[in-house]
Chains A and B, each alone.
Chain A
Amino acid sequence: MALQWSSETFVAELKDLQANAMAVDCLGTQAVLAGKKTLAYVNLENSEEGDDGSNVTRVARQSKWDVNCIQFNPHASHAPLYVTACNTRLDVCQLSDRNGNPVCTLKAHSRIICDVDWSPFDVNVVASCSVDSFTYLWDIREPKKPVHSFQTVAGAYQVKWNKVTNNLFATTHEGDIRIWDPRKGNSPQQYIAAHLSKIHGLDWSPDNQNQFVTASQDGYVKLWDYTNPKKCFGSTDSGAPVRRARYTPFGAGLVTVVVPQLKRGENSLYLWKITKQSDMSPVHTFVGHKDVVLEFQWRKQPEGSRDQQLVTWSRDQSLRIWRIDPNLQRLCGHDGGDSGEVDLTGTSYNSSESTLKDLRDLSLSEPTMEDEMEISVATVTMAQQARSLQQEFSQLNTDIPNITLDQMDPVSRTCRVTGVGGGQKVIMECLFPEAYPNNVSPSFQILTTTLDAAMQSRLLKVLSDTSVKFVRRNNNCLEMCLRQLMSILDSMDDRRSPESEASFTRAPPPIVQATAFNILPMYSLGNFQDSSVPFPRTSGARFSSNGFLVAFGVPAEMKKVSGGAEITPKALSELAAFTQTSWNNTRTNPFSLVFSRSPPTPSSDMSISDFFEKKGRQRSSRHSHSHSLSRRPKRQERYGEKLSSKKQLSVGKVKIYDVEVLVGVNKYLAQHYKMDLDDVEGTCRHNQSAAAAIGRKDLVQTWSIAATMASRKVLPSPVPQMEMPWAMTPCGRPLLKYILDQHGAQFDVQTLAMLCCLFWTPDPPRPRARSQAQVPRSGSKVSLEFTPPNYNPYHTVSSVTGLLKGLRTSKLPSRLIAPFLKCSPCYVLLC
């Protein structure tokens, strides 16, 4: 990588510094690099004089922690002030005479601080965030404690103030963003689930108070408007984790830092243009750094300068300044107002650009912009695919027993594998199509083998099944396929006579054991995030749909190991702690390890029951030991050995309670209620007596009122068939509504449903006959006169919907229903 672009004006190589953080002051005169042992102040003003060391001052620092981040005060009046974050501490220092004089120290975080940001509006306010899940706002005049604190569930990784409006800042938590306003209490103004994995960088727009950009591990750079948290309005996939994305101070552009997947030299900074449609198109690549760019900042330029400068610090321990001339700025949509500039469609717009031709990827040598950009985008995707295969090859765990990888070629997308085992030998070629692993599986070909035809086809089937499983999720599959190959060969080993084994040296058993046709778990050992798995429930109660309550719990003779004082832990990971204290034994593997072994091994099971112990036992180490002894028989029992003398670990019984009486639905009534739409009054009287039989006076009353309402006597009419029943008259309807409201308020579905059905509506005789024929067929249990074969009396409760369906299918003319609907609280029941 000797090629360096000529627009890069200044290089300082600071080999021994090992700095992770860099900051440039707001005047553009100083840069600070912070390493573990040394702080280096670099004078950017004299940069043209070259790297003779005269512009670099080093100051030793004594700390066993690295400086995580460093930032200058963005206010010109306090330009020499800077803050460094080192482990849990913030140090505010004043840079004077090329030396940092401590001003104050801010301490409150309990874990490492990930980011700091000075307020662009208040010279004294600085925000800091930490993995301890707190974000603090500090006033450096009162360094004793933070002026504001904000807590979140997850650790905060970035904190950034809005650059346009005061009192607004954003924090990032893994893939999420929260927007805060310190004036509005301690809860965030907005949540945004932005990325699928960790957000490495966030930057607010310099000119729009609602917009910001995020860069994430998932490879995406996304543009957001926080007033619309559901969706980003622009995004681009870099194909590799993006470390930073920041707006350019000119035009509408972004500078991104991509973490290269392979150490191949693409340690580039990219300059992007944000188009009007919020798409991002590549504009320029800054090539020169030999390792990951750790930090970059814009340097303020003297008045009148049309150039912009970007200061970068890379892990290759070099500090570079890149000049961005007005032409490049124009490409980002910047209208510098300088009319005398060369037209962009001219032949060459910068002498320095000519050297760029030699560079591979994203160079923009000829200014026929449109074509050029398409090509460069295409090369990016191609390169990315090749990378992903090459990456897979490079990350492949080649230490699989009995499998040797003879040849891996990411260019022709093939690899050759030799597998030896079970007295057999297979040489295979795997071919990876272009689209692999995006739902396209590789093809496998057996070149030479000692296997018989049946085994060959079986092997190919297993491999293709395995690969399909993985590529369906766009995951790489090679390693899993190789492990499958190995386990198939191994399984043959088991079936063969032992003498065939002698000819091959057997490697130590693999970590992951699996039978030949089981798909191996794709997760590696210890990969579990038990800290996010909730602590298992050991008790619970569930209502069933028929008035039963199922309850289970820990038996009364068991109690928590921890005693009753503290509340039950939150996450499964905390169980390990209990196991270790309660069971002083070598077998203290965390739960995760136990389980990710496949098939599970009996030797190391730790269980939720370790959280409990029998009452009356004292918690001494001796007793803990006996506890472990008492567990052992249980384990043996589990694996088939009969040990009747020891009672197995007591597991509580599951109890089923009949809570019908509480639910307010009665089985007796369900069995004895009657429903006869031809004789509503008689039905009510019958039901009244049914209610009386079980002593439900409230229902007796309801039914007697209902009977009175239904009686034809209350509405003497010459042609009763043509008249509305009394219940529908202006007098009767409010009463009915009142009754229904009362039962509704008590959630008395049983009575409610009965009343609704009875006072449905008087329907003409003919449809009624039809409806009666239909009700039973639909399985409705309205009337007990009809009992379907699999009748369950509890149905009255559980199939409210079924009952309603039955009514619905009875095809009552809707105009007849309509007046009734409005008067009842259970109208929804009817629709």
Chain B
Amino acid sequence: MVSVISSVDTGHEDMIHDAQLDYYGTKLATCSSDRSIKLFDVSSGQQVPIADLRGHEGPVWQLCWAHPMYGSVLASCGYDRKVIIWKETNGSWDKLYEYSNHDSSVNSVCFAPHELGLVLACGSSDGSISVISTTGDGNWDAKKINNAHTIGCNAVSWAPSTSPNALFDQGARQQPAKRFVSGGCDNLVKIWREEDGQWVEDQKLEGHSDWVRDVAWAPSIGLPRNVIATCSQDCRVIIWTNDGTSNHWTSRVLNKFSDVVWHVSWSVTGNILAVSGGDNKVTLWKESVEGQWTCISDVNKGQGQITDQRSSSVEPNYNTRRRLDL
């Protein structure tokens, strides 16, 4: 049963803009317009404050946890044009690195798959995207894609490191695919690929009719396809799919919502998409066996309940299976 396992009173003094659990689901990080980031231990079902990170000089827009193999590392970005990477050492949280080479608000941060190392992409309202990486010895390197999106870049999301056609392409198997997707104020979704140490535009997906607010590359469980979800000011969510070998992406409008859509997030298995937006509601969408997307539940935050609308998602194709049992 879908249930609320904890409800965290963050104590933020202003609107919360992002909340993320770490890899193990034990630590919750939240960020807010009050310029702070708060960390809580939620493993016991209770909220135990861990830290209150202050360093941003403006609202903090987004957070991203790094893979635990790099320790407890959190990245944050905000209106103050800064990206700050925080790290826990012996129970205390400190700034590990601060990147301030953007000329406008930094709207999105995303850590790359851990196979690529500690690599971070961030998109800014100055239209550029930076890819920040560290060699581990305290040196940080940043590559900047200028004019990635006219007017501004709103979101970045990395591709999973297992490339879908890795089996057939020996070369691709050796090197994990280094790609990410970005969305911006030019209504475009762009896919970027690293080539000889430089980031080049790989694909340009046109479909939205207003600013793209969030992009999310679905995790791969190994099926031979790439899936990207994007959402936009035009109130629509688009699912882009690619067969993993060609360069062709097909788009499909998941739904047109009544208000602006801000967030799309994939479940770890890549078959459930959480959509949230200006209407203050969260809806969950699931891809059926036939490839259709259906809304399976509404998370109405006012009531703190997920109203379960699904009928057979636990045992889909039960009948098929029964026939198989002959």
Query: Which residues of A come within 8 Å of B, CB atoms?
Result: 153-154, 173-176, 187, 191, 193, 195-196, 230, 473, 521, 523, 528-529, 532-556, 567-568, 570, 572, 591, 595, 598-600, 607-609, 634, 637-638, 648-649, 651-659, 661-665, 696-698, 701-702, 704-705, 738-739, 742, 744-749, 752, 792, 794, 797-798, 800-801, 821, 825-831
On whether the beta carbons of B276 and A541 are closer than 8 Å, the reply is: yes
Which residues of chain A come closer than 8 Å to B188, judged between CB atoms? Answer: 191
> Which one of B147, B224, B303, B324 contacts A193 once the chains associate, using CB atoms below 8 Å?
B147
Which residues of chain B come closer than 8 Å to A521, judged between CB atoms? Answer: 81
CA distance A541 to B33 in the complex (A): 18
On whether the beta carbons of B33 and A609 are closer than 8 Å, the reply is: yes
B296 within 8 A of A: yes
B325 within 8 A of A: yes
**A191-B204, A661-B2 are contacts. A654–B267 as well, Cβ < 8 Å?**
no
Distance in Å: Cβ of B48 to nearest Cβ of chain A:
14
Tally of contact residues, B, Cβ under 8 A: 124
On whether the beta carbons of A608 and B306 are closer than 8 Å, the reply is: no
> Which one of A540, A547, A744 contacts B268 once the chains associate, using CB atoms below 8 Å?
A547
CA distance A825 to B316 in the complex (A): 18
CA distance A591 to B35 in the complex (A): 13
On whether the beta carbons of A607 and B33 are closer than 8 Å, the reply is: yes
On whether the beta carbons of A532 and B21 are closer than 8 Å, the reply is: no
On whether the beta carbons of B104 and A529 are closer than 8 Å, the reply is: yes
**A554-B280, A828-B166, A829-B222 are contacts. A533–B150 as well, Cβ < 8 Å?**
no
On whether the beta carbons of B28 and A654 are closer than 8 Å, the reply is: yes
**A540-B19, A698-B317 are contacts. A798–B28 as well, Cβ < 8 Å?**
no
CA distance A698 to B263 in the complex (A): 33
Residues of B206-226 at the interface with A, using a CB-CB cut-off of 8 Å, are 206, 210-211, 213, 220-224
On whether the beta carbons of B154 and A567 are closer than 8 Å, the reply is: no
CA distance A544 to B65 in the complex (A): 10
On whether the beta carbons of B278 and A175 are closer than 8 Å, the reply is: no
Q: Which of A608, A609, A659, A825 has the most CB of B within 10 A?
A: A659
On whether the beta carbons of B204 and A541 are closer than 8 Å, the reply is: no
- Residue ID in chain A nearest B45 by CB atoms: A656
- Residue ID in chain B nearest A752 by CB atoms: B221
On whether the beta carbons of B30 and A548 are closer than 8 Å, the reply is: no
12 A-B residue pairs with CB within 8 Å: A532-B151, A541-B263, A542-B265, A551-B19, A570-B233, A607-B59, A651-B11, A659-B284, A661-B1, A663-B272, A697-B318, A831-B167
Partner-contacting stretch, out of B83-91, B130-138, B307-315: B307-315
Which residues of chain A come closer than 8 Å to B61, judged between CB atoms? Answer: 536-537
Which residues of chain A come closer than 8 Å to B186, judged between CB atoms? Answer: 153-154, 176
On whether the beta carbons of B204 and A540 are closer than 8 Å, the reply is: no
Type the 1/0 row for B150-168, where 1 means its CB is closer than 8 Å to any CB of A: 1110100000011010110
On whether the beta carbons of A801 and B162 are closer than 8 Å, the reply is: yes
**A538-B16, A541-B299 are contacts. A826–B2 as well, Cβ < 8 Å?**
no
B237 within 8 A of A: no
B203 within 8 A of A: no
Distance in Å: Cβ of B278 to nearest Cβ of chain A:
3
> Which one of A534, A568, A651, A826 contacts B222 once the chains associate, using CB atoms below 8 Å?
A826
Which residues of chain B come closer than 8 Å to A701, judged between CB atoms? Answer: 321-322, 324-325
On whether the beta carbons of B125 and A556 are closer than 8 Å, the reply is: no
> Which one of B30, B201, B267, B277 contacts A230 once the chains associate, using CB atoms below 8 Å?
B201
On whether the beta carbons of B79 and A533 are closer than 8 Å, the reply is: yes
- The 7 closest A-B CB pairs, nearest first, are A568-B278, A556-B302, A544-B21, A828-B222, A747-B271, A829-B222, A541-B274
Which residues of chain A come closer than 8 Å to B274, judged between CB atoms? Answer: 541-543, 549, 551
Which residues of chain A come closer than 8 Å to B162, judged between CB atoms? Answer: 801, 828
CA distance A701 to B19 in the complex (A): 39
Query: Which residues of B come within 8 Å of A, CB atoms?
Result: 1-25, 28, 30, 32-35, 42, 57-59, 61, 79-81, 101, 103-105, 107, 115, 125-127, 146-148, 150-152, 154, 161-162, 164, 166-167, 173, 185-188, 200-201, 204, 206, 210-211, 213, 220-224, 233, 235, 258-260, 262-263, 265-272, 274-278, 280-282, 284, 286-287, 289, 296-297, 299, 301-304, 306, 310, 313-318, 320-322, 324-325
On whether the beta carbons of A595 and B315 are closer than 8 Å, the reply is: no
On whether the beta carbons of B269 and A554 are closer than 8 Å, the reply is: no
On whether the beta carbons of A658 and B164 are closer than 8 Å, the reply is: no
Which residues of chain A come closer than 8 Å to B148, judged between CB atoms? Answer: 193
On whether the beta carbons of A747 and B269 are closer than 8 Å, the reply is: yes
Distance in Å: Cβ of A76 to nearest Cβ of chain B:
39
Which residues of chain A come closer than 8 Å to B275, judged between CB atoms? Answer: 541
> Which one of B9, B222, B276, B313 contacts A539 once the chains associate, using CB atoms below 8 Å?
B276
CA distance A567 to B23 in the complex (A): 34
Which residues of chain B come closer than 8 Å to A591, judged between CB atoms? Answer: 79
On whether the beta carbons of A656 and B4 are closer than 8 Å, the reply is: yes
> Which one of A196, A542, A752, A821 contacts B263 once the chains associate, using CB atoms below 8 Å?
A542
> Which one of B30, B265, B271 contacts A654 once the chains associate, using CB atoms below 8 Å?
B30
On whether the beta carbons of B4 and A657 are closer than 8 Å, the reply is: yes
On whether the beta carbons of A661 and B314 are closer than 8 Å, the reply is: yes
On whether the beta carbons of A599 and B223 are closer than 8 Å, the reply is: no
Q: Which of B17, B151, B266 has the most CB of A within 10 A?
A: B151
- Residue ID in chain A nearest B42 by CB atoms: A656
CA distance A123 to B213 in the complex (A): 43
On whether the beta carbons of A746 and B289 are closer than 8 Å, the reply is: yes
CA distance A154 to B32 in the complex (A): 30
On whether the beta carbons of B304 and A655 are closer than 8 Å, the reply is: yes
Which residues of chain A come closer than 8 Å to B33, judged between CB atoms? Answer: 536, 607-609
Distance in Å: Cβ of B39 to nearest Cβ of chain A:
12
CA distance A830 to B222 in the complex (A): 8
On whether the beta carbons of A540 and B262 are closer than 8 Å, the reply is: yes
Distance in Å: Cβ of A441 to nearest Cβ of chain B:
17
On whether the beta carbons of B301 and A556 are closer than 8 Å, the reply is: yes
On whether the beta carbons of B299 and A153 are closer than 8 Å, the reply is: no
> Which one of A539, A544, A747 contacts B221 once the chains associate, using CB atoms below 8 Å?
A747
On whether the beta carbons of A652 and B301 are closer than 8 Å, the reply is: yes
Distance in Å: Cβ of B244 to nearest Cβ of chain A:
9
On whether the beta carbons of A546 and B282 are closer than 8 Å, the reply is: no
- Residue ID in chain A nearest B287 by CB atoms: A747
CA distance A600 to B287 in the complex (A): 47
On whether the beta carbons of A539 and B150 are closer than 8 Å, the reply is: no
On whether the beta carbons of B325 and A705 are closer than 8 Å, the reply is: yes
